[in-house]
Structure 1
Amino acid sequence: MKLTKKVVLARAKASDLDSIKKLNCWGSNLSDISIVRDIPNIEVVTLSVNNISSLEDFSHCQNLTELYLRKNSIRKLEELHHLKPLPRLRVLWLAENPCCGQDPQKYRMTVLRNLPHLQKLDNQAVTEDELSQALEEGEEITVPPANERGANGTTDFHSDQHFTESAAETESDPLNFSMEETNKIREQLGMKLLSREKFPFTSSKDGMSKKSSVLKAILLLLNELDIEGLEVVHKSTENRLRTLQIQEIQQDR
C-alpha cells in the first residue's frame, strides 16, 4: 500500500507537507513511503509494523532525529547506507526486521559503527563503550544494497531459509504480544505506559491463550485512538481478513 499525501496530511493534522514535523502511520500495511521525500522538515517518523523494505526514501529527510521502523521487511543491513548522511538522527528502532539476523551483537555493532551519532538503538541507550567496540566488531557499510546498484554478492546477515522460517512464524502468530510489547507500541504512539497493575492480563498456570491475550491488548489500544487512527485500523483489518479468506479458498481447492 502506498502512503499518499492525503493520508499524511490527515494523520499529521496539517495543511501542507512543509509544516509537518511528526508522522505516525504505525500498522498501516505500507510498502511505498516515497512521499517522505517531500516532507523536508520531518523530525520524527513512526512507521513500525508495516511492509517497508528500503530506507532509501529517508535519505532525503535531513532533519530526521527519530525513526521507528520495528517489524518491517528490511532484509539487508546495507540499507543503513541511506541513513549515514542524516546528521541529526539520534534514535533508531529497527528491531524485528529480517536484517537483524541471528546474531544480535553483530547486528548492533554494525548499526553503531555506521551510525555512531545514535543515542538510542532499539529502545536501548547507546554507551561510549559500545561505540568503541563497534569500531572493532561492526562491519562498515560503504555501498547501498546490491539490488540498488545492479550487482550481486553483498553483505546479508541472515539466510533466505531463516527469513522464510521467521516469516512463517510471524504469519502463524502475527501479534505475539506481552505487557512489554504493548508498552513498546504505546511508547511509539506517544501514549502513557501501562503499569503491571493496570495491565488487563498476565500469564497464569491456567493459561490464557495467546489469541485471547492479543485481543485484549488490541482492544486496550483501540481506546486510545481517534477517528483517523480507527480508520487506519479498520482498513488494515479488512486487508487482513481478505488475505485470510483467500488463503482458506486456496486450501480448500
Structure 2
Amino acid sequence: MPLELVTIPCLSDNYAYLVHDDKSGETAVFDVPEAGPILETLEARGWRLSHVFLTHHHPDHVQGTADLLAKAPARVIGAAADAHRLPSLDQQVGQGDVVPLGGESVEVIEVPGHTTGHVAYHLPTSAILVTMDSLMHLGCGRLFEGTAAQMFDSLGRMAVLPPETIVCSGHEYAETNVRFALTIEPENSRLISRRDEIAAARAAGRATVPTTLALELDTNPFLRCHIPAVQASVGLADGDPLAVFAEVRKRRDSFS
C-alpha cells in the first residue's frame, strides 16, 4: 500500500511533510521548519516518528530539528555534501542512495541550484517526490548558491519521473508564482484555470501543495523552456532552453 502523506503548514509560509507506513508503523518527516506543528500532528494521529529527512541547510527548513528530536527521537538523514551545515546526521546520503522506509524505498536525487547541497527524495512506490526549494509549485528556488545550469539540470532529472508523481514543495508561493507564470504564457488555458483554483484554495485557507508533476509540466515556466511560446515570450525564439531558463529566472527574481 502507498504511504500516507500529510502536509503540515509551518512558520508563515513553509511546509513540512509526514509520510506514514501503516504496516510497520514507521513515520518520516521531510524538513523541520518548526517542531510544534509536526509534534501536534504526530500526537493527533498516534504516529511514532522514525526518520527525519532534510533537503537543505536553510534555517527555515531545519531550525526545528533539535526541538523535534528532544520529544520524538528519530534517525536524521541528509546530504553528505552539506553535513557540515546541517543538524547532526545519523546517515549521510548522495545521488542514487536508497533509504528503506516501511515497505518501500526513499531514493536520493541531488538537485543543486537553490543551494549547492540540496537533495530531493523520491518514493517511487507511493509516487511521491519531496522537492522543497528545488522544483516548486509553478516555480523553482532562487539561485542563492548554485548556477542556472545546475538548477536547469536538476529540474530535468525530476521532470522525467512519471507524470502522476506527487510533488511536495516547501513554500506557499502559488499566488505570486501563478501571476508571474501568466506574464510568460498569458494564453495558457491550464495556467488560467490554475490561477482561479489557487485563488479559491487560498480564500478557503487551504494549501496549494502538493501538486503533481503533470500539472507542473503544463504550467510551470521553469519546466517549459523548450516550448516555443515561452521562448518567444522572453525574446529568445528558437533559443537554447538553458538560456531561456536563465532569462525566466532573472525575470522571476525581479517580479513582485
TM-score band, normalised by shorter chain: 0.3 to 0.5
By percentage of residues, which structure has more strand?
Answer: 2
TM superposition score normalised by structure 1: 0.34
Larger-Rg structure: 1
